[in-house]
Amino acid sequence: MSLAPAYLAEAAIDALRRGRIVGIAGDGVGLAIVSAELADAAALAALEAHGRAGLIITARRAAVLSLANQRAAAAADAEPVWIERPVWLGLTESRAVADPVLDLATPFKGPFVSRALAGDTAAARAAITLAKQAALLPAVYAVPLAAATPVVTAPATAILDLPATAARVRLTSRARLPLALAENTEVVAFRPDDGGPEHLALVIGDPLSNLARSGPVLVRLHSACLTGDVLGSLKCDCGPQLHTALAVIAAHPGGGILLYLQQEGRGIGLLNKLRAYALQDQGFDTVDANTRLGFEPDERDFSLAAAMLHQLGVTQVELLTNNPLKVAGLAAHGLAVSRVEHSMAPNPHNLAYLGTKRDRQGHML
């Protein structure tokens, strides 16, 4: 029995995240890959049973290493770069190539030899997509598909369709959840069809009544931030944004909805966000930290929030935000959106961070 391509792509994410060998079938010979972040000596030896593996990195990371043109690397779908691995480029040295946090500790790298991807361009792009979907460093070891024995092989076309153009979610449970800042709250849980993490809607007051539904609903999209929301980090404004939004919605006559989305670090995952923090400690701002890691400045999928709101019957929103991408993201998926300012006072630790959001990401602060 053959499995659906979309299922194979999702299975490939899980396998890569577990450090397994994953196959990608493309127009060329195809690729077998292992995560550069998770590979140990045994995993790399298994991948290299019939030949030396190359290292595939993003165009953005390659530009940092002077292996790609910076202007071309900034394109939305820039081609990844294959680095050949001579004997001196072993496991430790390759990890330093993949992880920019190690740049200061290992400043002298190279000389590198890259090769054209030719017919395996789609497979290489799919490899980077898999790593990002698995919240891993976007870098992989790779050999021709026929030279290894992957635990699962997925078509490059199916992987490149991740995430779906429009997310699909299922409302799975709901319960009353009195909060310190909003006692009249119901929590509504959603499970995405792609098998990703669950997301929550905090429905505060009675915004979904027939009377209220005739007008816009006050909404806040909040991406989970463990360091800010739970630990009280001063590096960002996430904790204050969350708590202020809850209080504002609770005080609003019609109530409203806060979507708590598991999109940590603007979609790069908790561990990669902590890597970005380490780069910020080295002097890079939040945008440059993301791009040095090989990610886009914002990797979030706002169709997920739109799908949750549609499930709740919401079609018009007053959005508590200063981020134009959130406004555009919801509007692109059929919601009528107006913006309500949501600014927090800076502190000495996040002043530069807020300036970067304003000056380089267009936040209306």
Residue spans of beta strands (DSSP E) within the chain: 22-25, 31-35, 54-57, 81-83, 114-115, 139-144, 152-155, 169-176, 185-192, 199-204, 217-223, 256-261, 316-320, 336-340
Q: Of 194, 229, 288, 298, which residue is the catalytic one?
A: 298
Tell me which DSSP letter residue 152 carries: E
Closest CA to 142 of 48, 63, 17: 48
Residue 360 a catalytic site member:
no
* Token pair listed for 88: 């001196």
Query: No. of H helices and E strands in the chain?
Result: 15, 14
Which whole-number Å values give the CA distances from 279 to 17, 255, 315, 331, in the listed order? Answer: 23, 40, 40, 33
Of 300, 301, 339, 359, the catalytic one is 300
On the 0-12 / 13-18 / 19+ scale of CB atoms within 10 A, 111 is: exposed
Is 298 one of the annotated active-site residues of the chain? yes
- Do the beta carbons of residue 243 and residue 253 sit within 8 Å? no
Q: Catalytic amino acids?
A: 298, 300
